[in-house]
Structure 1
Amino acid sequence: MTTATTLRYTITDSPVGAILLTSDGKNLTGLYLDDFDEIIERLAAVARSEPREDPDLDVFAEARRQLGEYFAGERTTFDLPLAPVGTDFQRTVWDALGRIPYGTTCGYGELAAEINRPTAARAVGAANGRNPISIIVPCHRVIGANGSLTGYAWGEEKKRTLLDLEAGVVAARH
């Protein structure tokens, strides 16, 4: 039997627009860049609870701090308790996303090879598109085989902004 978990959320500002953060009360479960009302409703139905806005939750305060450092070019990795909900395959892909170095990109085929599923580029793309913790789990670093900015749920403009931010920080450090 599954127990209900209260969905907690907060909305914060960022250079790429408002960000919705979600939590199970202890771990960060989501970072979304659009469709907030729809996402909150869907996640609350899955959690079988009323959503509760909780901007002072410790994990949200820490996420806001680390995101601020990231957008200021001071942070290249995140250290937060994460609990993304997904299949085993999706979680494998999301773990691999976390290993893509800051300021670099890779293709879906490369990511598939990284998880020892070299023929699963399309499945990797689908899992990448379902990543519930954008930016922190850097799905924006995955690009098309031809170098195109394909497949970012929040739009090409936001993906370009994130990649440009990282490239600029890397260039400034060299």
Structure 2
Amino acid sequence: MSDIQIRLLDENAARAAIPDLAEVLSDCVEGGASVGFMQPYPPEAARAYWHGVANAVASGEALLMVAEIEGRILGTVQVGIAQMPNQPHRGDLKKLLVHRDARGKGLARRLMEAVEREAAARGKTLLVLDTATGSDAEAIYPRLGWERVGIIPDYAMWPEGGLCATTFFYKRIAA
């Protein structure tokens, strides 16, 4: 879709985007995504999380991508790029989120392609992620070339309560 814009945010843009990012995160949690937060989770509650992400962007610890349609942020993904000294080649993919209003438009694919390019440009050759086993999100990653590693039972909780397993994935990318 030509009306989708994918952008890498710097610190100032990340801080300015906090209201929109909070809406996306809240919508995903309220829709059942196991991404670290429990229901109810209104946008106001999500703002503190995004302030922390903006701080990580400012310090060079993270990359933050957004997908916009007609100027509205409807998707996002992050990569943690600050690693221990023996892991300079690795990044941690975090919080691929697409607002329920925008699903099925290719935002997840476009975000992932863009953030993988940005991570590679910073010398990363391996990305890792985890996602709730059995979730809609789990089905996305193999279609994008990610390799399933394994499952840990009872790793986290669904936002409405109850334990869920987590599936780990990795992907080699070209630096």
Structure number with the higher strand fraction is 2
Normalising by the residue count of structure 2, what TM-score does the alignment of the two structures yield?
Answer: 0.32
Between Structure 1 and Structure 2, whose CA radius of gyration is higher?
1
Structure number with the higher helix fraction is 1
Which one has more relative contact order, counting CA pairs under 8 Å at least 6 apart? Answer: 2
